[in-house]
Amino acid sequence: MTAALRLGTRGSALALAQSQFTADALTAATGRPVELVRVVTAGDRSAAPVAQLGVGVFVSALRDALLAGEIDFAVHSYKDLPTGEHPGLHIAAVPEREDPRDALVTRGGRALRDLGSGATIGTGAVRRIAQLHALGLELQVTPIRGNVDSRIGRVLGPQADLDAVVLARAGVVRLGRAAEITQTLDPELMLPAPAQGALAVECRSDDADLVELLAALDHAPSRAAVTAERAVLATLEAGCSAPVAAYARLDAGAHAGSAIDGESGERIHLRGAVISPDGARAVRLSRTGTPADAAEIGKALAADLLDAGADTLMGSRE
């Protein structure tokens, strides 16, 4: 009997749901059994805001376990990963991405623009806080931490103390709580975080057989979109807690179905933004190109943002 592959995962409900989804998909695609191995990360042990904890706080323990041979592969929320490549490790697959947009959960089913001046709204991301301030709705924005269930409980639970929370739609859906979403926020209102809604399946780069096996889960359009978005983040030298947003969408181009010079005609449309934490200033730009050039499109958009003064909004210079 073939030994089960060991999939490392954080112990949160969302991490377990994402990992079980990946395990089931791999078994269905390849026939290999998979067992989950829980790993506690520094982020799980701390109650400090993510912005204070730093980049990679939820993934370092998983990567240590991978390098030590304690697990065979790991599943991360892609937006939690540092942008630099890790020596000895390889992102073998990016499964098909869940909806990357942000979601609003409110008391009384009110839409964002109907919350009213002074309404209390909680979120854990500097990016979301900045964009909520930029809307000019005079909301009282409260930084919060916690898992999806505890955040929603701040609005819908028996001891609710907030009028609304904003969180990633993907996590709410993966936990089977989509019915509690009041409004999925249009990117025109709230541009998502780079790689939001995407998973990264990582293994040791020298494990050629496993690299090949995990490739069965890779979804090329999702990988291209995430590559473009994370190239923006990397070029800006900003971490996952910075007020940086990026959203790539793949569309069939005008020549799709009638390949020209070997290209399918598919286009990638990338939008990026850097917003000051108080929402008073923002730089928002876009770029378009082919999926094959995803990384270069992201780098070029970041350069455009920097040329327009984005670095001053991230506090890198006066």
Just list the catalytic residues. 80
- Please give the helix or strand (H or E) that residue 238 lies within, else none: none
Residue 75: burial class (beta carbons within 10 Å; 0-12, 13-18, 19+): buried
The answer for residues whose C-beta is within 8 angstroms of residue 179's C-beta and 6 or more apart is none
CA nearest 227: which of 295, 168, 174? 295
CB-based contact 287:229 (threshold 8 Å):
no
The answer for residues whose C-beta is within 8 angstroms of residue 238's C-beta and 6 or more apart is 244, 274, 314
In angstroms, the CA 96 to CA 317 distance is 38
In angstroms, the CA 101 to CA 305 distance is 22
Residue 257 CB: number of other CB atoms within 10 A? 8
CB-based contact 317:251 (threshold 8 Å):
no
Looking at 58-182, list the stretches that DSSP marks H as alpha helix, in order from N- to C-terminal side.
60-67, 126-134, 148-156, 169-174
Place of tokens 């209390």: 120
Residue 108 CB: number of other CB atoms within 10 A? 10
